[in-house]
């Protein structure tokens, strides 16, 4: 079997084709080869590898479903399909990097089966852009968990690549300004974001040897916003949330807060548990992403104070979504 090494081989930039690049065609987890203690960041990379399998398969599915004309037919640049293949290749390279970062004393998770819900090029492009924008906040959270300096450096390096994917999508596909202000949104609780991605995993499809994902999981209520009524997810506007799982058990007389993360800010506003509504803070710009959680403590200082969420409110390219929506 031919293998490739990111950084030595051009494979993860130049491969093209509908067949999955290596190791995307592998289905089994890699079992431990040693019996010593796990590496200091093995758990972090196990969670990251499990998430990366989903992202890789998201792009691989698009490569298999579509071709160049699929995107030019809806007015996108002729290079779009080629770029999507290149991003797919980058994500395959991430699989190798994350697997190699897990010590031989720990399981290296394999893929599951996934259902991403997109049926055409328009819905794929919309979901892709949201995922790329959200990845910045997720990686900023993961950096805060890392124990080793080398891990923090690796995560920053990966984030730089993901930022290029995001910039390309915003500029070439949406035709909008890719700058999101002085800082992307930093979010402290990575596992809460990972927990929301379970919606893409086909139940029962993961290998029985895979470690739980994410581990540890904080099983809190999930919610979203009403896309029909909350079309202007911008600073200073009202938003009503709807729960996709059972609501939290509210404690009578207790104050709850909608805590919004934007850039390096963390802003708490009152949350009405009767109407499930709140107001997005009046941030000074409408770019990038806002992340909101519901907490029982002002500013959600620890993950245990979060009772629901997170939900991602993507401010840009909200206006551009009308082009393809």
**List of E strands, the chain:** 223-225, 238-243, 257-262, 265-270, 277-279, 289-295, 306-314
Give the residue-averaged pLDDT of 42-47.
Answer: 98
Say yes or no to pLDDT of 135 above 90: no
Q: What is the pLDDT of residue 325?
A: 39
> How many whole angstroms separate alpha carbon 232 and alpha carbon 196?
23
d(CA 299, CA 288): 20
248-300 residue pLDDT tens = 999 999 999 999 999 999 999 999 999 999 999 998 767 778 899 999 999 99
pLDDT at 322 over 50: no
80-101 and 149-168 helices, crossing angle to 10°: 170
CA distance 99 to 107: 9
Mean pLDDT of the residues in the chain: 92
Out of 18-32, 94-108, 193-207, 218-232, which region has the weakest mean confidence (pLDDT)? 218-232
Instruction: Catalogue all structural domains in the chain, each as residue range(s) with its CATH number.
Output: 11-31+40-181 (1.20.1260), 223-318 (2.60.40.10)
- HEC profile of 139-177: HHHHHCCCCCHHHHHHHHHHHHHHHHHHHHHHHHHCCCC
């Amino acid at each position: 079997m031919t293998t490739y090494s990111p950084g030595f081989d051009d494979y993860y930039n130049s491969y093209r084709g509908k067949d999955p690049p290596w190791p995307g065609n592998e289905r089994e987890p890699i079992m431990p080869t040693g019996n010593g203690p796990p590496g200091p960041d093995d758990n972090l990379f196990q969670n990251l590898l499990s998430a990366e399998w989903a992202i890789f398969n998201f792009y691989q599915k698009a490569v298999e479903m579509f071709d160049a004309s699929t995107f030019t037919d809806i007015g996108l640049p002729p290079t779009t399909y080629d770029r999507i293949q290149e991003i797919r290749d980058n994500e395959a390279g991430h699989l190798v990097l994350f697997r190699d970062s897990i010590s031989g004393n720990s399981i290296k998770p394999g893929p599951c089966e996934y259902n991403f819900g997109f049926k055409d090029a328009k819905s794929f492009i919309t979901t892709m852009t949201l995922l790329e924008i959200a990845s910045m906040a997720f990686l900023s959270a993961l950096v805060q968990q890392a124990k080793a300096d080398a891990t923090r450096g690796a995560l920053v390096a990966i984030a730089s690549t993901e930022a290029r994917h995001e910039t390309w999508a915003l500029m070439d596909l949406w035709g909008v300004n890719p700058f999101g202000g002085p800082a992307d949104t930093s979010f402290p609780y990575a596992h809460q974001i990972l927990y929301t991605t379970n919606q893409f995993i086909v139940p029962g499809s993961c290998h029985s040897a895979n470690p739980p994902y994410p581990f540890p999981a904080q099983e809190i209520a999930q919610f979203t916003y009403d896309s029909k009524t909350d079309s202007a997810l911008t600073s200073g506007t009202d938003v009503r949330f709807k729960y996709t799982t059972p609501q939290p058990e509210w404690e009578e007389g207790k104050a709850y807060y909608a805590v919004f993360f934007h850039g390096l800010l963390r802003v708490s506003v009152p949350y009405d548990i009767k109407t499930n509504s709140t107001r997005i803070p009046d941030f000074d710009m409408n770019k990038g992403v806002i992340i909101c959680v519901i907490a029982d403590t002002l500013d959600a200082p620890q993950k245990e104070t979060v009772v629901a969420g997170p939900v991602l409110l993507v401010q840009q390219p909200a206006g551009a979504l009308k082009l393809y929506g």
